[in-house]
């Protein structure tokens, strides 16, 4: 087939409904070959692409081309950060500001995040803070970023004492998900993203969970249509929750199933040793264990969750080195603590139901921690 | 007079009208002795007071008392930063996050800025970014902060290449201005704040400017009722502008009369060598010179502006060491540059009128720079 006659697949579009800050998520194959999609969301004549040393060699040229093709007025600068959660800190963030200022970008510029969740979070926070806020666009290239972190406007960096403690709620102009970028994604990263896909089923979408149980083999084999469906359904779930509760006064917190335990693993074990989704998977098992101890779910559901996580080759327990004390000290500074009380997301009732609550028997939490830790 | 019979003066209140983010500015003498004013705006049970090494010995105990008197459920932590514009940077900001995290503050805490503009800007940006946003209260203790920086939600820090390049628009719960705190303010700081008071007259309030011409001696002598009136009228002007244009799409930029030249002086000369208002005063003279060169104002107005600045013991020219090149390089990264074009606030027409425009003869700018710089 010749390039000129190449058919352009129309993207699927999920709308994130946030009043005058609403924006579309475009999902599909070959979207980076459709420059008009990106260009309609670029404000001003200057663009800064923020990416990392892994993604830049694969997709930076393609993105620069998509931004500039037929659009000679636009100038693109780029900053390439080191890859990894351990660089999601103030020092690396400053490199983005340095580049933006050296390039003399002004308020009418657009930042583009090209990469996984770490890049999206850092670029988003940089965009929120540079000159007190400039436009930005998300081009997530991992499953994790495509189904979760690029959608909903949570941005930020880590502090040595905890994940995402410094940041902003800041919405992009659009999210562009070219599913072709998953072709270069390592298996472990793929599985990590699926932990969040599974989460949507567990907390609010039983039908989606059941679909996943039937299609996990296809997802693990990167079947394009299964993958596109899983991404779209995940984005729809996330967009709905975010539209109802942008600033996380309640409902939105349910997206953090397994994340409180998971963050403790990431912090205690060292950022980036386990991938985020791996920590979330182990954390989900712990939240599920606790929910079961409280008598809130039945053992059939516990088994199905173990099964699907194992199919996705995700961990179902924290690393051996984690202690009860490590969990407790990190959980004490969790963002979901209110006036000293730790609220957790726990499953309750049939598949697809959860609660966000501080009203649980402390003994169940202690028992869960002791069950999963050697000391 | 006994403490129990001490009359409490009612504060004057200026409302900043921003929909569901509206808030009051309380202005008056002895307001820190009225705990109920502060306490009604504290959310949650934990407070972090952010102050500096100059203000802490003077007012920290008083503020802690105002926060906790008759209110035993509230715990107050504090962090004392080094004093000065040169510490308004990422390194110092991190000390606020460190303290907040060590103190295990959660989303329901309140940050209190106690100090001048630097403290307010840093504390506000820390509040905007900590856990993606917590409540905060401004207690400004300098004229500069009381008439300008504490009102309107501009927060941020400096970058080595320019002032306030990193920050957020983030509104406080309230601003509490106890005019008694001015009793300890050095003369130079007092004068610096008056530069912004004069600005309100020049850009939008001819009647206020004329009042200032008659009352500058009283202001310089810290006459309490003159001072309270100048603060209130300044806050009213600022509140009105901010209500109409919170995010500075146009009108709000007019508050920056003299600030583009002034920022260049602060950056080129080294942060904190001149006070902000001193740089703004010299910058105002430059903007006025340029407005006159463009034929937009008459020489009578130029003279009146020189006179009032001299009465306030403010500089009317930049430091000798400033060069044309220093001005140009800093002005190129000014936040008011849009798509490469530097827009300036210039006076135009009778007293009290100004424009925010990129539509001016470049030669007038060059001539002004050459007039005020030796090289």
DSSP string covering A154-206: EEEEEETTEEEEEEEE---SEEEEEGGGGGG--HHHHHHHHHHHHHHHHHH-H
Calculate what percentage of chain A has a pLDDT beyond 90.
86
Helix (H) and strand (E) counts in chain A: 13, 13
Report chain B residues whose CB lies below 8 A from the CB of A107: 335, 337-338
How high is the mean pLDDT of chain A?
A: 94
What pLDDT is stored for residue B1 in this prediction?
39
Whether B97 sits inside 8 A of A159 (CB atoms) is: yes
Higher pLDDT, A190 or B3: A190
Whether A128 sits inside 8 A of B335 (CB atoms) is: no
Whether A332 sits inside 8 A of B104 (CB atoms) is: yes
Give the 3-state secondary structure of residue A293: helix
A320 shares contact with chain B (CB less than 8 Å): no
Where do we find the tokens 């780029």? A78
Torsion of CA B237, B238, B240, B243, to 10 degrees: 180
Q: Are strands B135-140 and B174-178 parallel, antiparallel or unpaired?
A: parallel
Whether B129 sits inside 8 A of A168 (CB atoms) is: yes
What is the full DSSP assignment across A100-161? HHHTT--TT-EEEEEESHHHHHHHHHHHHHBTT--EEEEEE-SHHIIIIITSS-EEEEEETT
**Which of B154, B168, B332 comes nearest A104 by C-beta?**
B332
What pLDDT is stored for residue A375 in this prediction?
86
pLDDT for A5 beyond 60: no
Give the max Cα distance, chain B. Answer: 66
Pick the residue from chain A with its C-alpha nearest to B105.
A333
Whether B130 sits inside 8 A of A166 (CB atoms) is: yes
Higher pLDDT, A322 or B249: A322
What pLDDT is stored for residue B364 in this prediction?
97
Residue ranges of chain B whose pLDDT lies below 50: 1-5
Report chain B residues whose CB lies below 8 A from the CB of A129: 125, 129, 156, 166-168
Distances in Å between the Cα of B49 and the Cα atoms of A3, B3, B82, B347 are 63, 26, 14, 40
Give the 3-state secondary structure of residue B146: helix
Is B43 catalytic? The answer is: no
What pLDDT is stored for residue B271 in this prediction?
67
Residues in a beta bridge with A284: none
Q: Are A167 and A214 in contact (CB under 8 A)?
A: no
A116 shares contact with chain B (CB less than 8 Å): no
**Which of B132, B168, B338 comes nearest A106 by C-beta?**
B338
At A270, the pLDDT band (50, 70, 90 cuts) reads confident
- How far, in Å, CA of B192 to CA of B195, rounded? 5
A9 shares contact with chain B (CB less than 8 Å): no
Q: Are strands A341-342 and A337-338 parallel, antiparallel or unpaired?
A: antiparallel
Q: Are strands B174-178 and B23-28 parallel, antiparallel or unpaired?
A: parallel
pLDDT for A369 beyond 80: yes
Pick the residue from chain B with its C-alpha nearest to A163.
B131
- How far, in Å, CA of A247 to CA of A235, rounded? 17
At A161, the pLDDT band (50, 70, 90 cuts) reads confident
- How far, in Å, CA of B76 to CA of A240, rounded? 38
Is B71 catalytic? The answer is: no
The C-alpha of A336 sits at a distance from chain B's nearest C-alpha, in angstroms, of 8
A152 shares contact with chain B (CB less than 8 Å): no
What pLDDT is stored for residue A340 in this prediction?
75
Is B304 catalytic? The answer is: no
- Predicted TM-score (pTM) of the model is 0.91
What pLDDT is stored for residue B2 in this prediction?
41
B269 shares contact with chain A (CB less than 8 Å): no
Q: Are A329 and A343 in contact (CB under 8 A)?
A: no
- How far, in Å, CA of A110 to CA of A93, rounded? 16
pLDDT for A130 beyond 80: yes
Instruction: Report, as an integer, the average pLDDT of A15-35.
Output: 95
The C-alpha of B104 sits at a distance from chain A's nearest C-alpha, in angstroms, of 5
Give the ipTM of the model, two decimals please. Answer: 0.90
Residues 6+ apart with CB under 8 A from A118: A52, A83, A84, A85, A87, A88
pLDDT for A54 beyond 80: yes
């Amino acid at each position: 087939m010749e390039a000129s006659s190449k058919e352009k697949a129309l993207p699927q579009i999920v709308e994130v409904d946030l009043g005058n800050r609403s924006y579309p998520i475009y999902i599909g194959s070959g979207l980076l070959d459709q420059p008009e999609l990106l260009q309609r969301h670029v404000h001003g004549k200057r663009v800064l692409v923020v990416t990392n040393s892994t993604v830049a060699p694969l997709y930076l040229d393609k993105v620069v081309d998509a931004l500039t093709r037929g659009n000679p007025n636009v100038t693109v600068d780029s900053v390439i950060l080191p890859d990894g959660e351990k660089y999601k800190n103030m020092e690396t963030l400053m490199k983005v500001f340095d580049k933006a200022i050296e390039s003399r970008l002004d308020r009418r510029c657009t930042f583009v995040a090209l990469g996984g969740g770490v890049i999206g979070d850092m670029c988003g926070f940089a965009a929120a803070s540079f000159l007190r806020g400039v436009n930005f666009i998300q081009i997530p290239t991992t499953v994790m970023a495509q189904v979760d972190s690029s959608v909903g406007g949570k941005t930020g960096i880590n502090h040595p004492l905890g994940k995402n403690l410094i940041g902003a709620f800041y919405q992009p102009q659009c999210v562009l998900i070219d599913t072709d970028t998953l072709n270069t994604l390592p298996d472990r990263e793929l599985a990590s993203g699926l932990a969040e896909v599974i989460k949507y089923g567990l907390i609010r979408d039983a039908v989606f969970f059941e679909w996943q149980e039937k299609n996990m083999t296809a997802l693990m084999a990167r079947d394009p249509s299964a993958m596109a469906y899983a991404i779209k359904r995940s984005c729809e779930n996330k967009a709905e929750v975010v539209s109802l509760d942008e600033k996380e006064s309640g409902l939105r917190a349910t997206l953090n199933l397994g994340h409180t335990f998971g963050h403790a693993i990431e912090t205690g074990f060292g950022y980036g040793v386990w991938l985020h989704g791996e920590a979330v998977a182990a954390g989900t098992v712990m939240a599920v264990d606790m929910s079961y101890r409280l008598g809130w779910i039945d053992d059939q559901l516990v088994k199905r969750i173990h099964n699907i996580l194992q199919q996705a080759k995700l961990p179902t327990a924290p690393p051996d080195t984690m202690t009860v004390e490590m969990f407790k000290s990190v959980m004490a500074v969790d963002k979901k603590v209110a006036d000293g009380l730790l609220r957790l997301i726990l499953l309750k009732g049939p598949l697809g139901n959860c609660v966000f609550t501080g009203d649980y028997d402390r003994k169940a939490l202690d028992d869960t921690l002791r069950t999963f830790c050697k000391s």
